[in-house]
Structure 1
Amino acid sequence: MPWEPDGYFDRKARADQDAKPCADEGRAHRLEARRFYRAAPPYRIQFEINGTVSLCQKHYQYWEHLFPEGATEWLPISQHADLEEAERRLRHICGPMIYYDEEGRMTRAPGRAKPAWNMPPDDDEG
């Protein structure tokens, strides 16, 4: 199901918010801007006037004089000649890491050392 900016409110959450009066109108505006930001996808592909395609990432910048949706900005992170290139870049950013062995076959990720969890070093660790 595609993301639609008009449908970002959960009806139950919106009803709960309407039931509770908000003393600070600016606070309600900020909360609505944050809700919109959280509901928006992290990346979008945007077609430019000059015929190129931009891959954009969302950023939050609140201005109280704008609509709540205006706090979600889409900053271009790369420009591409066509949609396929932009989609390939997005898959590269969002896709999982793939590991290969010496013969070029896909394999599991190498084992990681367990975190020390801020433990003091042992005598042999210095």
Structure 2
Amino acid sequence: MSKLDNYTFDKHPLFEEEFNKIIRKHQCPSLEEDFERLKIALVQKLEEFNHFPVSLCNRISGLSSDVKFPAFIVKNFRCKKINKGSRSGFRITFLFSREDNLFYFVEIYNKNKKPVEDKERINKLF
């Protein structure tokens, strides 16, 4: 768990595994640095607009009614070492609790290997 100003960032154990696997396989060599930049961008955009702009992430629909926090997916994730800009193909899903200022990262994957996010994983959290 890490903190950035008044925000807390935590990761699902499976997110940690997927994150480390991507680093080990050199799919995105700068992933740790890129992920830190993403966290800063999320906080900046949230404070600037009081919500996440569509250019940064989209809200995930079709979740169970038990899911208490909004879930989002980052589709324009930039990997610095891959020269594709925001079209790196990586997707990151997270939950955000406005009450606790908590970002909880649930899943990271490459869209070429897996077409959609794991909604069941999000549903099981609740």
Larger-Rg structure: 1
TM-score (norm 1): 0.24
**Higher percent of residues as helix:** 1
Higher relative contact order (CA closer than 8 Å, sequence separation 6+)? 2
TM-score (norm 2): 0.24
